[in-house]
Chain A
Amino acid sequence: MIALTLFIEGRIIQLVYLVIMVVIISYFLNTIKKENLPKIRQIPALDAIPEIVGRATETGRPVHFTLGWTRPEGLRGGNAATILAGLSVLSHLSNIVAEMGAELIVTLGSPDIIPVATEIIQDGYAAAGYMEAFNPDQILFFGTEQFAYISGVLGVIGRENIGSNVMVGPFAGEALMFAEAAAREGAMQLAGTQSVYQTPFFIACCDYFLIGEEVYAAGAYLSKEPRQLGSIRGQDASKILSLITLIIGSLLSILGNNFVLNLLNM
């Protein structure tokens, strides 16, 4: 009983669920090997990255990548997971850009991401064998204020006449502005965000888009590492568990029994 008082009321079941998820994902992380890779459905947006870069290369115009308005707190804030997901796409993108000989411009809204992005892009170029093509001036920071960042990125999109636009990260009101500005430049676009309010704008304006959890699966999908692909299987198993809880809870609530509801509020 003393041990129970150490836990904050209303969050105990959340902790239990988190532990269950850790166990499930750890299990699949450690059991999936090269011999028994899980079948992951095709994500056309991620498969299209070479095509997107190729379009820019053919037209001689740069590829633009941005993470969205990552807020002043950047990797310290609540959007850290989405930022990391975007950086994993950047890692793959920079490798392909280097291989195809295209120019890459990366625009950022948080200063603490600058060294991380620099290292990731450098490694992408090095892995492709074109380290000499890397230029640190291709990473641009436009300030932590949302509209300073928006103005800077819109300026880059117009001034540099970008050929392709990749936007994966935590987007707010700037989503439509960037997508529409790039569409007017005739750029081919790939976009993904966790925000359900901005996803429709990306769907309306972009050629390829990632919806919801596809953003978080991007890194694992692109890396093709067995452990990361195993974590996607664990993610799906956790989703099934959530669905079962939802269905049982909904049915019981309809029948007037709030057991599941009360349990989840513990």
Chain B
Amino acid sequence: MATLMRREIPLAITLLVGVIVIADYFVSIPAVNQTTNVLTSWGVVISGFAALLGVINVIKHNVGLIREQKKDYYYSVILLIIFVFMTLIGSIFTIKHPIYDFFYFNVFTPLAVTVWGMLAFWIAGAAYRSFRFTGIDSSIMLTCAILVMLRNAPIGAAIWGGFPPMGDWVMSVLNVATNRGITISIAIGVIAIGIRVLLGAERGYLGSSGGEEA
């Protein structure tokens, strides 16, 4: 009975819901479309409850850091203060209010863009470490990277007019061909894992109840 509840029934629900949602993509039957809409809305409701789990996790983790006075625990103090502040602002004034928008777009967005801006330095560090003539693979990668950089930077065309076409060839022939090959195999892999889940072969998400094969 326990196995039925913890394995067979969840697998049956997975198969049923999966087939309905997949069918919605291919058929124009009102009953299927409406059922999919209902199932999707249930998913949103469940996510709402899951958001509460996330909030508890964040608070618990940061309170723990403060209590144990771990390294840089003052960042956790700031986080919790801002968390309470924004929650109060959003609750009192709603998230569409100009006050909420002010803090979101004038505090959070600039911080997010700052992190994005650091990406250039991460790329430089990774390139410095990895672009070396240490073997055939890395040499090919370095050569292609140099060609593409000379294609993109105006100085490449200024040095020699042949660099942009070579860079274009690398991007439009080599790169596109490889990407398409990988993309096709990824698409098939996605379908395969979906079929495994729907047919009950992939049961890791069920935990201990689904792990053992019948």
Q: A residues within 8 Å of B by Cβ?
A: 5-8, 11-12, 14-15, 18, 21-22, 25-26, 29, 72-74, 76, 81-82, 84-85, 87-88, 91, 110-112, 114-116, 119-120, 122-123, 126-127, 137, 139-147, 150-151, 155, 159, 173, 176-177, 179-181, 183-184, 194, 196, 199, 201, 204-205, 211-213, 215-217, 219-220, 223, 225, 227-228, 231-232, 234-235, 238-239, 242, 246
B91-99, B155-163, B166-174, B186-194: which lies at the interface: B186-194
Docked-complex contact A235 and B189, CB < 8 angstroms: yes
Q: Identify B192's interface contact among A143, A201, A235, CB under 8 A.
A: A235
Q: Identify B205's interface contact among A116, A177, A184, A223, CB under 8 A.
A: A116
Query: A217 CA to B126 CA in the complex, in Å?
Result: 28
Q: Identify A159's interface contact among B43, B57, B71, B192, CB under 8 A.
A: B71
A75 to B: closest C-beta gap in Å: 8
A141 to B: closest C-beta gap in Å: 4
5 nearest CB pairs, A to B: A111-B54, A216-B189, A213-B189, A112-B50, A119-B207
Docked-complex contact A194 and B192, CB < 8 angstroms: no
Q: Identify B58's interface contact among A91, A119, A137, A141, CB under 8 A.
A: A141
A229 to B, closest residue via Cβ: B201
A242 to B: closest C-beta gap in Å: 6
Docked-complex contact B204 and A120, CB < 8 angstroms: yes
Query: A159 CA to B205 CA in the complex, in Å?
Result: 30
Docked-complex contact A213 and B188, CB < 8 angstroms: yes
Docked-complex contact B72 and A21, CB < 8 angstroms: no
Docked-complex contact B202 and A177, CB < 8 angstroms: no
- Known interface pairs A11-B26, A120-B207, A219-B204. Does A111 touch B61 (Cβ–Cβ under 8 Å)? no
Docked-complex contact A140 and B192, CB < 8 angstroms: no
- Known interface pairs A180-B122, A235-B189. Does A140 touch B57 (Cβ–Cβ under 8 Å)? yes
Docked-complex contact A235 and B211, CB < 8 angstroms: no
Q: B residues within 8 Å of A by Cβ?
A: 22, 25-29, 40, 43-44, 46-47, 50-55, 57-58, 60-61, 64, 70-72, 75, 108, 111-112, 115-116, 118-119, 122-123, 125-127, 129-131, 141, 179, 182-186, 188-197, 199, 201-202, 204-205, 207-208, 211, 213
Q: List the A side residues contacting B208 at CB < 8 Å.
A: 119, 122-123, 126-127
Docked-complex contact A18 and B191, CB < 8 angstroms: yes
How many A-B pairs have beta carbons closer than 8 Å: the answer is: 204
Q: Identify B115's interface contact among A142, A147, A194, A223, CB under 8 A.
A: A147
Q: A176-B122, A212-B186, A232-B192 are in contact. List 11 more A-B contacts (CB 8 A).
A: A11-B26, A74-B47, A76-B43, A76-B44, A84-B197, A88-B202, A115-B53, A141-B58, A147-B112, A213-B189, A228-B196
Q: List the B side residues contacting A88 at CB < 8 Å.
A: 202, 204
Docked-complex contact B111 and A137, CB < 8 angstroms: no
Chain B's interface: helix, strand, loop or mixed, by majority?
A: helix
Docked-complex contact A204 and B115, CB < 8 angstroms: no
Query: A120 CA to B211 CA in the complex, in Å?
Result: 10
Docked-complex contact A220 and B196, CB < 8 angstroms: yes
- Known interface pairs A22-B195, A91-B204, A201-B126. Does A8 touch B26 (Cβ–Cβ under 8 Å)? yes
10 contacts between A and B (CB under 8 A): A21-B188, A29-B196, A74-B47, A116-B205, A212-B183, A212-B185, A213-B185, A219-B193, A231-B196, A239-B185
- Known interface pairs A143-B54, A176-B119. Does A216 touch B29 (Cβ–Cβ under 8 Å)? no
Query: A5 CA to B60 CA in the complex, in Å?
Result: 55
B112 to A: closest C-beta gap in Å: 4
Q: List the B side residues contacting A116 at CB < 8 Å.
A: 205
